[in-house]
Amino acid sequence: MSIYHHSPAPGAGGSHCRPAYPQSFLSHLAIQDTPKRNQPGAAMLSDNARQAIRTELAGARDAGERRRRAQQCAAQFGVSLATVYRAAPTGRTSARAHNPDYVDWVRTAVAVAERAPDGPVPLDLALDAAIESGLLPAAAGAMPIGTAYRIRRTLGLDDRQGRLARIDAEYPMQAVQFDGSSSKYLSVVDGPDADGDWLLKLYRRPISARGYKNKPLGPDRERLVTYGVTDICTGLRWSEYRVARGENALDAIEAFVDMLITPAPESPRRLRGVPEDLWLDLGPITKSPITLDLLERLNINLVTGEPYRKTRMAVVERAWRTLWGRFERSLFLLPSPEITLSELRGRLSNYLAQENARRPARVRVGEREVSRADAWEMLLRRRAQDNPLREMPAHALQTLAQEDRRWVDATGRMRYRSKQYDVPQLHDTYVQVVASLDGEQVLARCLRSGLKVTCRVLEAAAYGHPPGRAQTPLARALAGAPDFPGADVFGVGDEVPVAGVARLPAPVAGAAPLEDPLDITRRYPSLEAAMLDFARLCPVALLPRQREQVAGMITAADFSQEAVAELARDILSSTAASAEKTS
């Protein structure tokens, strides 16, 4: 039976639930007169009071009712809510302390789980693999998997997102970040008109940058692309819309240069100058040799993204997505979903001017917070005298050129971009071709001499009249030379000059043996080898005088093996004939 009953609260129109303890019961509980927990001499509940509180809280149907009853008991007995809860435990036992080896086991399992490149292996599979490989004992299999995950979270070994590193710069235009993206809600409808303007339309369904098959496109598959530049020091931003068939290097570098050229006095844009460092993702600008050549000539250091560090510029890129999203969603407040590109650019300029004047800068100026536009002007004047802001050249885009290596043949012709060009003063050499983007101007620089000439498209000449060429210096010299009548330089009757030194005999070695590749005769390498083979073929004792004669004959026959064999047969035959006559 509950010790509560419902009665109207004093001064209240509704019912209020309060304890209905009699005064004798309260005195029986022997509660001290100390209503606050943190006051000196805080009250201690008697055993009867604790039992009454346990009985009251045990009848609660849920946690909410249990808390309300605990609050009422705390007010009735003049103690804190924590004292009431300590007097009436829930009956749940605290978690049993885990095995001290669990921490080491979890560390080993986490090391195994992190072997996967894209996200860790589930911890239970990593534990099984560690046990099977012998890294962990079999007892590790009895560790509850929930305990393993809890220990991993406690140790900070889970794969949570780390803290992003913020990009900072010391002064304006020390480093800027350039980014581009397709519009999320705007699409090209028609254009361009006579003034070069385009008609755009808002779509309520967000247009993702992926899946161009279902994306509304212009008549020639044009898309609306947004480009933006951020000064990393102050946070000053500027952005422009352009119509193109997608993000490409030429449109991107054109937008980048246009947003940094010194603006007109009435323009709301303040961002200007040539930055020292340019932060880019691995987009079309970094893949085009034309844009890379322009950035190098502008002395701009290119800083690109790095593999497996996708959050390297996330602080800046995320801000661009937020800014573009806020602006394009505000366009749905207009009465018409259609808008021209020129009107859109004007609205974006006003929006960016308000943002730069209202948003705080990324740095504090003079120990106080100022807007991005004010920080830009104040810090720009504080740049070092030896490092002033460099203006962007107005003709920077006109200097965009493509370079290639080509061969000029013997007739001075060169094939480039499916056309044949006449290269004056050069032939039979490699040249470095420098061509404007429209192909109207083509230059060739000889890689050997460094000579630069202007190339022209080759035109077919009339039959029998080859195109004239400038004469070489040698040809001009020969054309102006007088006629030569002829001269006999080495005649038969000419006197032979007499040498002024007497001819004396000089030590000369004999001619070395020269092998004849057409001679098929087999020969001995030396006289000794020939005499040894002769003694084998003719085992007749010869006198010394006879041996000298045989050696002379072998030498005369140039050590021929056939001559030695024939000589041995002749001596054997003559010796046999002499022996028959004697007998």
SS3 of residue 475 by DSSP: helix
Question: What does the H/E/C string look like for 29-51?
Answer: HCCCCCCCCCCCCCCCCCHHHHH
Of 270-279, 400-409, 445-454, 519-528, the range with the lowest mean pLDDT is 519-528
pLDDT at 312: 60
Instruction: Please give the pLDDT value at position 128.
Output: 93
Residue among 420, 488, 429, 428 at smallest CA distance from 458: 420
Token readout for 281 is 């993702």
| Range list of β-strands (E), 318-428 | 338-340, 401-408, 413-416, 419-422
| Alpha carbon distance 453, 475 (integer Å) | 21
How large a percentage of the chain has pLDDT more than 90? 19
Q: Which pLDDT band holds residue 39 (cuts at 50, 70, 90)?
A: very low
Nearest Cα neighbor of 432 from 413, 463, 407, 469 is: 407
Residue 411 pLDDT level (bands cut at 50, 70, 90): confident
How do residues 63-110 score in pLDDT, each as one tens digit?
888 889 999 999 888 898 888 888 887 665 555 556 888 999 999 999
- pLDDT score at 110: 92
For residue range 191-226, what is the model confidence (pLDDT) as tens digits?
788 888 899 988 876 555 444 444 566 667 788 899
Token duo for residue 499: 């040498």
CA 564 centroid distance within chain = 83
Helix/strand/coil (H/E/C) assignment for every residue in 280-344: ECCCCHHHCHHHHHHHHHCCCEEEECCCCCCCCCHHHHHHHHHHHHHHHHHHHHCCCCEEEHHHH
Residue 349 has pLDDT above 90, yes or no: yes
Residue spans per domain, the chain:
4-87, 102-155, 175-380, 400-457, 527-582
Length in residues, the chain: 583
**464 confidence band (pLDDT: 50, 70, 90):** low
Q: What is the pLDDT of residue 102?
A: 92
β-strands 175-182, 277-280 pairing: parallel
Nearest to 533 by CA among 511, 501, 566: 566
Q: Give the per-residue pLDDT at 161.
A: 63
Q: Which pLDDT belongs to residue 17? A: 44
pLDDT of residue 374: 92
- Among the listed ranges 2-11, 320-329, 447-456, which one has the minimum average pLDDT value? 2-11
| Spatial distance between the Cα atoms of 407 and 415, rounded to a whole number of angstroms | 8
Can you give the pLDDT at residue 63?
Answer: 83
pLDDT at 25: 42
What's the pTM value of the predicted model, to 2 decimals?
Answer: 0.54
| Phi–psi pair at 59, nearest 5 degrees | -85, 0
Top-tier CATH class for 175-380: alpha beta
> Could you tell me which residue, 129 or 117, shows the higher pLDDT?
129
132-143 residue pLDDT tens: 999 999 999 999
Which sign, positive or negative, has the C-alpha torsion 395, 398, 402, 408? negative
Q: Is the dihedral of CA 365, 368, 371, 377 positive or negative?
A: negative
Task: Region of 106 please: left (phi>0), alpha (psi -120 to 50) or beta.
Answer: alpha
Q: What is the pLDDT of residue 342?
A: 92
User: Looking at residue 7, what is its pLDDT?
Assistant: 39
**What pLDDT does residue 32 have?**
41
Separation between Cα atoms, residue 428 and residue 411, nearest integer Å: 8
DSSP character at residue 274 = B
How would you label 260-298 residue by residue, b for 16+ Cβ within 10 Å and e otherwise? bbeeeeeebbbbbbbbbebbbbebbbbebeebebbbeeb
Residue 86 belongs to what H/E stretch? helix 81-87
pLDDT of the residue at 412: 87
Biggest alpha carbon distance in the chain?
178
Give the whole-number percent of the chain exceeding pLDDT 70: 79
Q: What is the pLDDT of residues 177-197, one digit of tens each?
A: 998 888 888 888 887 888 888
Q: Is residue 21 pLDDT above 70, yes or no?
A: no
Q: For residue range 423-440, what is the model confidence (pLDDT) as tens digits?
A: 888 889 999 888 887 778
Q: What is the mean pLDDT of the chain?
A: 80
Residue 163's pLDDT is 66
Higher pLDDT, 36 or 174: 174
What would the DSSP string read from start to end of 57-83?
Answer: HHT-SSHHHHHHHHHHHHHHHT--HHH
Confidence of residue 176 (pLDDT cuts 50, 70, 90): very high
**Helix (H), strand (E) at residue 575:** helix 561-582
